[in-house]
Structure 1
Amino acid sequence: MSFAFYIYTTIIMGVALVTSAVALVVWLMTRRRDSLVAAAGFLLYMLDMSVIFFDEYNRLKYDYAVTFSEPLQHPLLRCVLGIAIYACVVLWMFARLRKRPTSRMLGLAIVPFSILQLVLVPRSGAAGEMQQYLFWLTRDLGNVGCLAYAAWHYRHRATRVEKLDLDRSKLFWKVALVLAFCVIAEDTYMILLCRPDSQNPVISLFLWYLSERNISENVLLVVCAVQLFCQFSHILRVYARHPRADEDVAAESARSGDDLASRVVIYADAHKLSRREQEVLTLVLKGNDAQNIASELVISPGTVKAHLHRIYVKSGVSNRDDLIDAFWRS
């Protein structure tokens, strides 16, 4: 049984490490902040899992048990890792929503969470099942809060273009929200409700290993990894097919903090758009009108309209709104 959980934990740590490495490669190519945040978040999660590994090795070696009524092993380390992981989740969420958070916004999101974690961390002289539960519940509710904020932003603040962009990730957001509530339910059961039968050592051992992990949280990690791989695939495809366009894509991605530049290149490939038409399309997707596009590209409004007409013809649409729809649904 211990070997099976060893393999399982190794796989989860491997997923986190590989995802972190890929995100770091994307950051090195594009200097996108969200890629660096993702790389840090997955690496921190892997370190958090490695602490569990280390503790289990010690317990098997020295034959001692730990229950939820006792202090948390390495309380300060686990607390710091939890805060750092949550901060990465917050920063990535803002990046995915195309928002540049202010210091005040970050402070409101991270500081209260950090204080609660430091106060509630089960340590010597302050431990118990309820404190363990509240400590982990704080982390769980932090994830739910991020997803709830994303849903609120989508409904009330997102522009039409942002909604079209986020629509591509609707399945991810829904699955992530369901799994976030599953994490809470699993922690509730394992900490407050589960009472292993001491007369059945096999079941007790299984539940002991299970209590060290949160399967729902691990599944959520894998879902996030898949989502990131899908997101980064656009950038990697651009670098594979357009090795000389990397500097432009990197510069645009670094400024915008998203994968719009790489998506424009892929869309241009599929519809045979020229370099100037790509520039016009990018500005259209950012909400600029013909006059602003003309000023940005230092050309006449009539030339912009001519470029737009050719883009419409090549894309098989008849107006700007249809073009935007076609782009984000491609």
Structure 2
Amino acid sequence: MSFAFYVYTILIMGVGFVTASTALVVWLMTRRRDCLVAASGFLLYIFDMSVIFFDEYNRLKYDYTVTFDEPLQHPLLRCVLGIAILACIWLWVTLRLRDKVALGRVAAFVVPVAVLQFALVPRMGFASHVQQYFFWLTRDLGTIFCLAYAYIRYRKTDNKAERIDLERSKTFFRLACMLGVMVVIEDTYMILFCTSDADNVMVNVFLWYMGERNISENLLYVAAAVQLFKQFSHILLVFSRHPRADEDVATERRDAQDDLVSRVVIFSDRHGLSKREQEVLTLVLRGLDVQNIANELVISPGTVKAHLHRIYVKSGVKARDDLIEAFWRS
């Protein structure tokens, strides 16, 4: 049984390592901050799991057990890791929603989480099942809060293009919400209600290993990795097709928060758009009208309209709104 959990842990950590490595590669290509945040979050989660892995090794080696009535092992380290992981989730959600990343916004989330984590951490002379439960519940609810915030922002946005873009993550979001609830249920059962069986060693060993992990949290972590790979695939596809010419993707604003440029290249490849038509399409997607596009490209409004007509014909649409919807749903 210990070997099975050993393999399971290595696989989960391997998923994190591959995802973090890919995110770093994409960051080096584009300097997108969301990629750097994602890489940091996965590396921190790997570190968190490695602490669990190290503790389990020590307990097997020296033949001692730890229950939820005892102090948390490495309390300071586990607190810092938990806070840092939640901070990465919050930053990634903020960037994905194209919200402005401000110190005050980050602090408004991180500071309350940090206070609760340090206040509730089970330590010597101050540990119990209930204490352990509320400590881990803080981390669980932090993740759920991020998902709730994303849903509220999605519901309130008036930007049609932004709404369609976010709808591409609908399947992942629903899965993440379900797993978020499962994380709380699993922690509640394992910490407050699950009891060992003194007559069954196998059950005790199984519960011991299960108590160190939250399988639902691990699945959420894997689902996030899959979602990121789907997102990165657009950028990697562009660089594979345009290893030298695709300088726009690599030199896009260093504070870029989305994959608009890489998607424009893919959409243009698919529909045979020219370089100038790509530029017009990008400005349309950024919300500019004909006059502002003309000013931006230093051409006449009539020329912009001619480019737009050719884009509509090549894309098989009849109007601006149809083009925006076809782009984000492609």
After TM superposition, the score normalised by the length of structure 2 is 0.98
Match of 2:25 in 1: 25
Match of 1:325 in 2: 325
Encode CA deviations 1:162-210: one digit per residue, 9 max, x unaligned: 1000111100000000000000000000000001111111101101001
User: CA contact under 8 A between 1:122 and 1:128: conserved in structure 2?
Assistant: yes
User: CA contact under 8 A between 2:33 and 2:255: conserved in structure 1?
Assistant: no
The CA deviation at 1:158 is: 5.0
Worse overlay, 283-292 or 251-260? 251-260
Identity over aligned residues, as a percent?
A: 67
- Partners in 2 of 1:127 and 1:297 — Cα distance? 65
Match of 2:229 in 1: 229
2:244 aligns to what SS in structure 1?
Answer: helix
User: CA contact under 8 A between 1:253 and 1:259: conserved in structure 2?
Assistant: no
- Partners in 1 of 2:11 and 2:184 — Cα distance? 23
Question: 1:189 aligned to 2:189?
Answer: yes
Equivalent residue letter for 2:185 = A
Q: Please list every run of 5 or more consecutive structure 2 residues that lacks an aligned counterpart in the other structure.
A: none
* Superposition CA RMSD, Å: 0.9
1:288 aligns to what SS in structure 2?
Answer: coil
Match of 2:167 in 1: 167
Name segments (4+ residues, structure 1) moved above 6 Å: none
Question: 1:49 aligned to 2:49?
Answer: yes
- Partners in 1 of 2:247 and 2:31 — Cα distance? 11
Match of 1:270 in 2: 270
Matched residue count: 330
1:160-309 map, 5 Å: 160-252=160-252, 254-309=254-309
- Partners in 2 of 1:271 and 1:10 — Cα distance? 43
Equivalent residue letter for 1:188 = T
- Partners in 1 of 2:214 and 2:168 — Cα distance? 28
The CA deviation at 1:295 is: 1.1
Encode CA deviations 1:195-243: one digit per residue, 9 max, x unaligned: 1111111101101001100000000000000000000000000000011
- Partners in 1 of 2:244 and 2:293 — Cα distance? 25
2:101 aligns to what SS in structure 1?
Answer: coil
Encode CA deviations 1:127-162: one digit per residue, 9 max, x unaligned: 111111001000000000000000000001351111
- Partners in 1 of 2:54 and 2:276 — Cα distance? 56
Cα distance change on mapping 1:120 and 1:260 into 2, 3 Å: same
Worse overlay, 120-129 or 59-68? 120-129
Equivalent residue letter for 1:86 = L
User: CA contact under 8 A between 2:280 and 2:304: conserved in structure 1?
Assistant: yes
- Partners in 1 of 2:159 and 2:129 — Cα distance? 45
Match of 1:125 in 2: 125
Encode CA deviations 1:6-37: one digit per residue, 9 max, x unaligned: 00000000001110000000001110000000
The CA deviation at 1:255 is: 4.1
Match of 1:100 in 2: 100
Q: Please list every run of 5 or more consecutive structure 1 residues that lacks an aligned counterpart in the other structure.
A: none
2:245 aligns to what SS in structure 1?
Answer: helix
